[in-house]
């Protein structure tokens, strides 16, 4: 078993000599082996989420093997644990009881070393397949909420997550702000440099904005050349300061495109979550609508500036 594919296995056996023999055998086979002497100790370790395989005896003092299997399956673990049950119970009913409790497979005691390792190898294949499927699902989930062009979150994510941010802010009576950003004269960039260059500008602006916001803040592409930056735990003045940092850095840093360098500016509108009693949906809509209105004020008053909703602009050409 290669270093990259070594699985962490928890061996549960109350008899010391048998536990030591199995531990040595499994370690030689390439598994990273930890041990437990009883079911409760094993369950505590499993709940830490560090194991891919559980090899447990059936008969143990206190919590027996089938009970341990049931408790593991009831736990909210982030990854699947393959369970192999060691049993001296020889009837079909016993085997069915063990599998029904949550075991994936069983080996009769005393375990033949070759059979035990063969069944663990089969279990390792299942674990590896589950990991691959989980990683694929995570990638699909990420793609479903990511704007493929700009590399930010997309409008779908914005629509869903802004409701959660509003609900959290109101529940804990905390501030929440949003910045609406629009790249100035973007159509002219597309017309003069081509759409490929326009795409580069979108990506570089998004990267610039992401580099200047805090962990916990996030950015989504709203549409076209517009972006929304959501800032939890932030009031309007703090959000305007964040927008100003992005505006100033963008204005003073020419973008290096495949067609050559270009100076790009952006306009910003800032709004804070209203305390007016209303539904979460209405509050989220109002937050984005106010930020958008402030953005249009920035555009109409000369571009390359930051405006707070219902306030004067903070910066200008």
pLDDT per residue as tens digits for the range 167-179: 999 999 999 999 9
In the structure, what pLDDT confidence band is assigned to residue 293 with cuts at 50, 70 and 90? very high
C-alpha–C-alpha distance, residues 65 and 41, integer Å: 12
Mean pLDDT for the stretch of residues 212-233: 96
CA angle 292, 303, 182 (to 5 degrees): 45
The fold of 3-143 is Rossmann fold (3.40.50)
Superfamily of domain 155-308: Reverse transcriptase/Diguanylate cyclase domain (3.30.70.270)
Burial call 109-124: b when 16+ CB within 10 Å, e when fewer:
bebeeeebbebbeebb
CA angle 243, 248, 249 (to 5 degrees): 100
Mean pLDDT for the stretch of residues 205-221: 97
Whether residue 206 has pLDDT greater than 50:
yes
- Locate the domains of the chain by residue range: 3-143, 155-308
Question: Looking at per-residue confidence, does 141 or 312 come out higher?
Answer: 141
For 23-76, the pLDDT digits (tens) are 999 999 999 999 999 999 999 999 998 999 999 999 998 899 999 999 999 998
Residue 229's CB: how many other CB atoms inside 10 A? 26
Whether residue 317 has pLDDT greater than 60:
no
- Asked if 288 and 162 touch (Cβ cutoff 8 Å), the reply is yes
What does the pLDDT read at residue 94? Answer: 85
Q: Report the candidate in 185, 168, 173 with the shortest Cα–Cα distance to residue 230.
A: 168
What does the pLDDT read at residue 92? Answer: 83
Mean pLDDT of the chain: 92
Torsion angles phi and psi, residue 199, rounded to 5: -65, -40
* 252 sits in which H/E element: helix 236-252
In the structure, what pLDDT confidence band is assigned to residue 311 with cuts at 50, 70 and 90? low
Whether residue 273 has pLDDT greater than 90:
yes
Please tell me the least confidently modeled range out of 135-144, 173-182, 290-299.
135-144
Mean pLDDT for the stretch of residues 108-137: 91
* Residues whose CB falls within 8 Å of the CB of residue 120, separated by 6 or more in sequence, listed in order: 9, 26, 29, 31, 53, 55, 84
C-alpha–C-alpha distance, residues 219 and 178, integer Å: 10
What is the maximum span of the chain, computed from C-alpha positions, in angstroms? 85
C-alpha–C-alpha distance, residues 106 and 95, integer Å: 7
C-alpha–C-alpha distance, residues 229 and 239, integer Å: 9
Torsion angles phi and psi, residue 231, rounded to 5: -125, 95
Please tell me the least confidently modeled range out of 113-127, 221-235, 242-256, 301-315.
301-315
What does the pLDDT read at residue 83? Answer: 96
Percent of the chain residues past pLDDT 70, beyond the cut: 96
CA-to-CA dists, residue 212 to 67, 203, 270, angstroms: 52, 15, 16
The residues annotated with a catalytic role in the active site are 225
| Chain centroid offset of residue 228 CA | 20
3-class DSSP assignment, residue 172: coil
Mean pLDDT for the stretch of residues 99-105: 93
What does the pLDDT read at residue 5? Answer: 59
In the structure, what pLDDT confidence band is assigned to residue 268 with cuts at 50, 70 and 90? very high
Burial call 273-293: b when 16+ CB within 10 Å, e when fewer:
beeeeeebeebbebbbebbbe
C-alpha–C-alpha distance, residues 36 and 307, integer Å: 62
Question: Looking at per-residue confidence, does 205 or 144 come out higher?
Answer: 205
Burial of 78 (C-beta count, 10 Å sphere; 0-12/13-18/19+): exposed
């Amino acid at each position: 078993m290669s270093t990259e594919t070594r699985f962490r296995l928890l061996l549960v056996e109350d008899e010391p000599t048998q536990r030591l023999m199995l531990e040595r055998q499994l370690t030689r086979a390439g598994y990273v082996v930890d041990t437990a002497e009883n079911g409760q100790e094993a369950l505590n370790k499993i709940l830490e989420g560090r194991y891919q395989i559980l090899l447990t005896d059936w008969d143990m003092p206190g919590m027996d093997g089938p009970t341990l299997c049931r408790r593991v399956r009831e736990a909210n673990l982030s990854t699947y644990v393959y369970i192999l049950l060691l049993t001296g119970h020889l009837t079909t009913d016993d085997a069915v009881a063990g599998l029904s409790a949550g075991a994936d497979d069983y080996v009769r005691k005393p375990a033949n070393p070759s059979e035990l390792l063969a069944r663990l190898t089969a279990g390792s294949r299942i674990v590896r397949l589950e990991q691959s499927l989980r990683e694929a699902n995570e990638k699909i989930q990420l793609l479903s909420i990511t704007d493929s062009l700009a590399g930010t979150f997309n409008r779908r994510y914005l629509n869903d997550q802004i409701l959660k941010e509003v609900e959290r802010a109101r529940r804990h009576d905390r501030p929440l702000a949003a910045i609406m950003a629009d790249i100035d004269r973007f159509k002219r960039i597309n017309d003069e440099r081509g759409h490929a260059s326009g795409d580069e500008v979108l990506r570089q602006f998004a990267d610039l904005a992401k580099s200047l916001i805090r962990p916990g803040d996030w950015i989504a592409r709203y549409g076209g050349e517009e972006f929304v930056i959501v800032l939890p735990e932030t009031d309007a003045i703090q959000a305007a300061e964040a927008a100003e940092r992005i505006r100033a850095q963008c204005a003073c840093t020419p973008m290096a495109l495949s067609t050559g360098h270009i100076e790009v500016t952006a306009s910003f509108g800032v709004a804070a979550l209203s305390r007016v009693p209303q539904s979460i949906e209405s509050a989220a809509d109002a937050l984005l609508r106010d930020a958008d209105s402030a953005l249009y004020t920035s555009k109409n008053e000369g571009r390359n500036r930051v405006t707070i909703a219902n306030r004067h602009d903070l910066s200008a050409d």
